[in-house]
Structure 1
Amino acid sequence: MVRKIIHTYLFHPMPDRVQEHFRSWILDKEHAREKESVLREEWDRLDPAEVFAVDERSYRRKLGRLHREMHVAPKARLITLSRRAAAVAAAVVVLLMGVEFFVVKHLAADSTTWLVTAENSKGRFTLPDGSTVWLNADSRLAYRADFAENGHRRVRLDGEAFFDVKRDTLAPFEVTMGELQVRVLGTRFMASHIDDFGIEEVTLQSGSVEVEHLHSQERIRLVPDQNCTFDASTGLMTVRNVVADNYCSWTGDSIVFDNMTLGEIAVNLEHWYNIRIRIESDVDPSVRISFTLRPETLDETLRIIENLTHYHCLQIDKHHISIRK
């Protein structure tokens, strides 16, 4: 029965409630040795060529990056058998990419916890202070065991996340990503640091945040419906007024575009699919269309837009789309 449960979970998409039950079950001490044995068998027999729709070089690069970020020590010992099984389960899941997300607890000297999402998934997590974070696809968030101690709540982000921070005036919440640091007391905001785009951005939905460039010490305070963007190529930080909801809608299960402009829809899609969309000069971004976005693929969504607008959507590469006549 243990083998059947684990195999079914690893190789089939599961709803949030089932994922929560599985994580609790895998950490339970009952049948701990059998659980660990089955998980190790899954790990040993895993063939990345059968799992990824990418080449093995890409697979090795991503796995290597995760290991470097976790500071993996070959001889590190894990504390208990159940936690050892959980770590193996997490390792198997990151290779299979068959579930929404997972948690890795690296029990080394720094006791860092990593929250990780796969390339085509997103996950919702509760931090030790009660704050909630949604991680977009292919993202990582790290925090130490002393996260809520010493008057600070610090996390490190690689990718994109939406934070609903529990207010605590005695312990500011700090997000470090790339060259920016975000400080808040209690608020809702989106933060993004994706190397492939060459930009870092923070969009405030409610409350107040302070964004600081770590090298120049330039500081900017945002109010709701403002976006701060740092361009790595120019070294400049810019602030503009936006509709914050368009930057944060990816946290839901669907988006209803009701008579919305093409420009607004493009912003939503950028964060839903982790892409960037360029609307060419011969296209009217104020054109309004309506449709509902559910788990459609990017290609399916682009075809919908083409049918509704009669414009052409051209995928330049994995992360960039051009909309033109």
Structure 2
Amino acid sequence: MSNNIGVRNQNSIYRMSMDELFNKLKNDRLTPDDLRRLKSHINSSSNDELAQYLSEDTGDNACTDDDMLRRIKKRIDSRIDTDQLKARQIRRYRIALTAASILLPIFIIASAYLYFSGRDIPDGSSAMCSVSTAAGEISTVTLPDGTAVTLNGDSRLEFHADFSVKKRRQVTFHGEAYFDVAKDADHPFEILAPEMTVEVLGTKFNIVAGDSGHPSSLTLESGKVALTATGSDEKVTLSPGERATLTPGSDKFSVDTAAIDGSTQWMAKELIFDDASPESIVAVIENHYGVKLNPAIKNKINENFSGTLPGGSLSETLETLSYIYGFDTSNPTVE
């Protein structure tokens, strides 16, 4: 009898501690000490305990299995060096849980929510998982099949939790990302974007897939991909070093040669320009940070520019650019 009471008390303490840490994580209040406690809880928990907690917390255990739990623990161990974490780094990552999906700048327990959170889905379907980034954020997620996707700011990736066992590994994507697709000839990888569909077997490429009104493009680093324009039979196959661009209102791709480094500078948090027009400079900065620049700054950017700007923060970008164009950076944006 007393043993049962002791177990219940321990479970209650475990639950309270995990609730506290998860709530801090969701509300941007996780400190380095909290992070160490959270990692300790995860590492000391059995798969059953962790699965039970996550299923209770999300209300859905459709994505739960032992292999996923082991991958979660392994990912936490491999991704976190607690001695080097700083509070300002933690605050950059937010996890927002909704009834429909997960908004996930990938970070520690985010891996767990990626696999365990779902929504009410008709019988026969799998839970839907979603990863998204805010403007200016860059996040990397590893999909269940081993495919690594690095998302640029203001991007979104969606897939079914069991997509890797389906005949086609299908994801829906909007924004900009670098894909390193795991090879699996028996399960082709397919990306559904607003203006095009991309079919691959195993390859590396950078994709820009925006809304109507903005060009969509794909730059291939290795392997081979086939692209199809939405609503059309137009298809083009790329070889490494080639870029396909689909302009708004067109169902035909233009293909040219392009260095992958020029398409993935955002991953190094750099903005690279090659004889860019003033309009292009402004558009790149506004899209990268999700802001509207002050007209006073736009008016000062009046000549073409070639060079590399820091892309880690708006203030750094504009400060560097101000030395060239001579504008004031005290009021950089407008609502």
What corresponds to 2:210 in structure 1? 194
- Distance in 2 (CA, whole Å) between partners of 1:151 and 1:95 is 24
Displacement of 1:275 in angstroms is 7.8
Aligned counterpart for 1:217 among listed residues 233, 250, 268: 233
Q: Contact conserved, 1:28 with 1:82, CA < 8 A, in 2?
A: no
1:242-321 aligned within 5 A: 242-252=258-268, 254-255=269-270, 261=274, 263=276, 272-273=288-289, 283-286=303-306, 288=307, 292-294=310-312, 296=313, 298-310=314-326
Q: Contact conserved, 1:213 with 1:219, CA < 8 A, in 2?
A: yes
- Distance in 2 (CA, whole Å) between partners of 1:146 and 1:303 is 46
- Distance in 1 (CA, whole Å) between partners of 2:146 and 2:251 is 35
Distance 1:78 1:279, change over 3 A: same
- Distance in 1 (CA, whole Å) between partners of 2:64 and 2:165 is 27
Aligned counterpart for 2:97 among listed residues 88, 91, 98: 91
1:124-163 aligned within 5 A: 124-149=140-165, 151-163=167-179
Q: Contact conserved, 2:103 with 2:130, CA < 8 A, in 1?
A: no
1:113 paired to 2:128: yes
What corresponds to 1:233 in structure 2? 249
1:46-85 aligned within 5 A: 78-79=60-61
Matched position secondary structure for 2:118: strand
1:19-47 alpha-carbon deviations (Å, 9 max, x no partner): 9959968996648888899x79xxxxxxx
Aligned residue type for 1:111: S
**TM norm structure 2:** 0.60
Q: Contact conserved, 2:300 with 2:325, CA < 8 A, in 1?
A: no
Distance 1:279 1:156, change over 3 A: farther
Long gaps (5+) in structure 1: 41-76, 84-88, 319-325
Highest Rg: 1 or 2?
A: 2
Q: Contact conserved, 1:205 with 1:245, CA < 8 A, in 2?
A: no
Deviates more, 1:143-152 or 1:215-224: 143-152
Distance 1:168 1:157, change over 3 A: same
What corresponds to 1:61 in structure 2? none
Aligned residue type for 2:253: M
Long gaps (5+) in structure 2: 1-16, 66-94
- Distance in 2 (CA, whole Å) between partners of 1:94 and 1:188 is 30
Aligned residue type for 2:230: L
Distance 1:98 1:156, change over 3 A: closer
Displacement of 1:198 in angstroms is 3.0
**TM norm structure 1:** 0.62
RMSD value, Cα: 4.8
Matched position secondary structure for 1:6: helix
1:112-138 alpha-carbon deviations (Å, 9 max, x no partner): 432322423332111222111122233
Q: Contact conserved, 1:226 with 1:240, CA < 8 A, in 2?
A: yes
Distance 1:126 1:32, change over 3 A: closer
Q: Contact conserved, 1:279 with 1:285, CA < 8 A, in 2?
A: no
Distance 1:233 1:192, change over 3 A: same
What corresponds to 1:53 in structure 2? none
Q: Contact conserved, 1:230 with 1:238, CA < 8 A, in 2?
A: yes
- Distance in 2 (CA, whole Å) between partners of 1:240 and 1:306 is 33
Q: Contact conserved, 2:208 with 2:217, CA < 8 A, in 1?
A: yes
1:13-52 aligned within 5 A: 21=39, 30=49
Displacement of 1:205 in angstroms is 2.2
- Distance in 2 (CA, whole Å) between partners of 1:30 and 1:122 is 32
